[in-house]
Structure 1
Amino acid sequence: MSAPLGVILAGGKATRMGGGDKGRLALRGASLFAHVTDRLAPQVAGLALNANGDPARFADLGLPVLPDSLPDFPGPLAGVLAGLDWAAEAGAETLVSVAADTPFFPRDLVARLQAEARGMAHPLVLAATPDPKRGRVRHPTFGLWPVALREDLRAALMAGTRKVVLWTEAHGGREALFEDPGDPFFNVNTPEDLARAEALAP
């Protein structure tokens, strides 16, 4: 399977951090955007940022900025759709999404998502981690998405679908289980989370 394109999902409103762009928060002297880009860029054939509002504020990142094509912040699936539209224009077959506020995800994320997708008609895989109570927890902002299903996703969003797993399960989506030490998909939602990330950062 060829290298996918990648999109960093930053289209939310960051209400629990008081608004603004969470990706700009500093962690060990670098922004969350920088940590995420450092991990994802070597794994993909090209990288873009899904974000809403004035794209000029991200000019220093040097990335294409992809706004949601649907109004009212409909959630991560809208960011995935924006990425899929961009990937389609570039002639790519697949897209990998990551969250902008998750600085410790695996440096082999893409390879492991692709390995789980082998044999699938449409490579559609979400990341998951073990959970002692629920068996496993899915991380729906971390996924491998087929460009071939973008119009189906657009129709689902326009019909009101917002929950990622409802759409992926309807298309036979799989899960790639990441049993890495610690919490590889730890995300920064609150000031307390940022303090914890400082302690966890290598």
Structure 2
Amino acid sequence: MKRPPGVILAGGRATRMGGGDKGLLPLGGDTILAQVIERLGPQVSGLALNANGDPSRFVTYALPVLPDSVSDWPGPLAGVLAALDWAAARGDATVITVAADTPFFPRDLVARLTAAAAGMEHPLALAATPDPERGEVRHPTFGLWPVALRDDLRAALASGTRKVVVWTDAKNGRTALFDGPGEPFFNVNTPEDLLRAEAML
């Protein structure tokens, strides 16, 4: 079975880090984004980056840069739509997304998302981790998305939908539960988080 391509979502405004691109912050002698690329690259058939603004700041990574096609910063669903449109142009049936500020996600992420969505007419699954109170917590920027639903998502965004799980629940999206040790979806939001990520490396 052909592996899906992957898109790294870097379209956020990083307000808690004082603005700028969190993925370009230094980590482990390189950048957070480089760590994400190293982890995702072997799992997918191609890579692109969803980001807004001047794409030249990512030139060293030699990846296609996909801007949001929806204005006014509508959130990660706009990045998912950009990923779906890119995958459609490539002739792919699905696409994987990950966050640019989360450098420790599982190395079997794609395989497990794909397995979770097996048998669905339109494969759709989000990563999740156990939670003692809620049962599980979904990580909505880490997902497997079906190209066949891209126009549905476009219409949902136009009608005001912003929360990922609102749209995925309406499409009967599934979850892939990652219940191993550690914090695989730890993300860097603050300067303190960046220090912690260095320690986790």
TM-score class, shorter-chain normalisation, is over 0.9
Task: Supply the AA of the counterpart residue of 1:92.
Answer: D
Matches within 5 A, 1:20-99: 20-99=20-99
Q: Distance in 1 between matches of 2:123 and 2:35?
A: 26
* TM-score normalised according to structure 2 size: 0.99
Aligned length: 201
Task: Supply the AA of the counterpart residue of 1:71.
Answer: S
Matches within 5 A, 1:119-158: 119-158=119-158
Tell me the equivalent position of 2:18: 18
Q: Distance in 2 between matches of 1:174 and 1:19?
A: 33
Q: Distance in 1 between matches of 2:192 and 2:118?
A: 39
Pairwise CA distance, 1:27: 1.0
Task: Supply the AA of the counterpart residue of 1:100.
Answer: A
Tell me the equivalent position of 2:110: 110
Pairwise CA distance, 1:28: 1.3
Q: Secondary structure at the match of 2:59?
A: helix
Q: Distance in 2 between matches of 1:118 and 1:2?
A: 14
Q: Distance in 1 between matches of 2:180 and 2:150?
A: 31
1:150-194 residue CA offsets vs partner (Å, 9 max, x unmatched) = 000000001000000000010110000001211000000000111
Q: Distance in 1 between matches of 2:164 and 2:184?
A: 20
Q: Distance in 1 between matches of 2:34 and 2:180?
A: 22
Task: Supply the AA of the counterpart residue of 1:70.
Answer: V
1:4-60 residue CA offsets vs partner (Å, 9 max, x unmatched) = 010000001000000011111111111001000000010000000000001111111
Q: Secondary structure at the match of 2:126?
A: strand
Q: Distance in 2 between matches of 1:113 and 1:136?
A: 15
Structure 1: state its 5+ residue gaps: none
Q: Secondary structure at the match of 2:156?
A: helix
Q: Secondary structure at the match of 2:81?
A: helix
Alignment RMSD, CA only? Answer: 0.6
Q: Secondary structure at the match of 1:149?
A: helix
Q: Secondary structure at the match of 1:8?
A: strand
Q: Distance in 1 between matches of 2:14 and 2:162?
A: 18
Q: Secondary structure at the match of 2:197?
A: helix
Task: Supply the AA of the counterpart residue of 1:161.
Answer: T
Task: Supply the AA of the counterpart residue of 1:149.
Answer: L
Q: Distance in 2 between matches of 1:118 and 1:125?
A: 10
Q: Distance in 1 between matches of 2:191 and 2:55?
A: 25
Tell me the equivalent position of 2:178: 178
Q: Secondary structure at the match of 1:151?
A: helix
1:48-73 residue CA offsets vs partner (Å, 9 max, x unmatched) = 00000011111111000000001111
Q: Distance in 1 between matches of 2:157 and 2:78?
A: 7
Q: Distance in 1 between matches of 2:197 and 2:153?
A: 33
Structure 2: state its 5+ residue gaps: none
- Could you list the runs of 4 or more consecutive aligned residues of structure 1 that deviate by over 4 angstroms after TM superposition? none
Q: Distance in 2 between matches of 1:29 and 1:18?
A: 22
